[in-house]
Amino acid sequence: MIFGIVLLMCIPCRAEPNDRAEIVTQLLFGETYQVIEKQEKWYLVENTADGYRGWICAKQHAELVESEFNQITASHSPININEGCSVELEIGKVRLGLGAKLPNYSSGSIRLNGKEYLVNDASFTVEGLNIQHVAKMFLNTPYLWGGRSSAGIDCSGFTQLCYSIMGCQLPRDAWQQAEFGNEIAFDNLMVGDLVFFDNDQGKITHVGLMLENFKIIHASGRVRIDRLRRDGIYNLENNSKTHNLKVTKRIER
């Protein structure tokens, strides 16, 4: 088995081993994965955290020895919440986004494969923050299908990353996230609850995160705040309905 770690800000994972193929998700700095299949220029990998699979460019693969892979995955890596953070690697400075993991972090550096790398301006302090504060860090991030970073994000990537920063791992897709937690009544919604929306066929296709006063933050065009009513999301700018409400869930954190 081949193991790897992400040493770039993020790596696109594609549906097929082709540069033109759809991006289905992204791997963020410090996340680990297993290589499931190899082709000459492409590796099919599985994210250790959520089990999601996709093809990455072989040039973006950084190998981990099995012992270090096991050690990292068994421990809790600090998660960066400072957009100004960077790491000094052998290839040069790599900028990190919100939600990047810093494995084997100690006293301003990380240690990988027996080498130490300086970390600049990392911040891991979530004390005094709640998931509402974390979610608002992503405001106006552009929507990107398959995105999981502060450079571009989709609806379920957004909720997954917010929960990850707060120490709770969710699955990748909206329909998978909807299978978690406890269903709650609309009138009992609280900050941090997840709200799911469906299409005309009843399939869950969208998710957002509750804020105060029945407002919802979600990735639709950009990460934005809108109004939630009993039947769905209403655009705050023109009061038009944009999504049909399916189910509301509370995730224990």
Contact 228, 150 (CB under 8 A): no
Catalytic pick from 10, 13, 206, 243?
206
Q: Under 8 Å CB-to-CB from 212, ≥6 apart: which residues?
A: 132, 191
Angle at alpha carbon of residue 38, lines to 32 and 43, rounded to 5°: 45
pTM of the predicted protein model: 0.96
The CATH 3.90.1720.10 domain(s) of the chain lie at 131-250
Q: What is the pLDDT of residues 26-74, one digit of tens each?
A: 999 999 999 999 999 999 999 999 999 999 999 999 999 999 999 999 9
Q: What is the pLDDT of residues 89-141, one digit of tens each?
A: 999 999 999 999 999 999 999 999 889 999 999 998 876 788 999 999 999 99
C-alpha 218/C-alpha 210 separation (Å) is 9
Whether residue 155 lies in the annotated active site:
yes
Residue with tokens 């190899």: 38
Residue with tokens 């109004």: 227
pLDDT of residue 156: 98
Q: Under CATH, domain 2-120 is a member of which superfamily?
A: SH3 Domains (2.30.30.40)
Give SS3 for 237. coil
Distances (CA, A) of 222 to 41, 108, 116, 195: 33, 33, 37, 17
The letter for the amino acid at 193 is: D
Catalytic pick from 61, 155, 162, 243?
155
Which of these, 200, 201, 208, 250, lies nearest to 229 by C-alpha position?
208
CATH number belonging to domain 131-250:
3.90.1720.10
pLDDT of residue 109: 96
The CATH 2.30.30.40 domain(s) of the chain lie at 2-120
The pair of three-digit structure tokens given for residue 228, joined into one six-digit string: 């939630």
197 strand-pairing partners: 206, 245
pLDDT of residue 153: 98
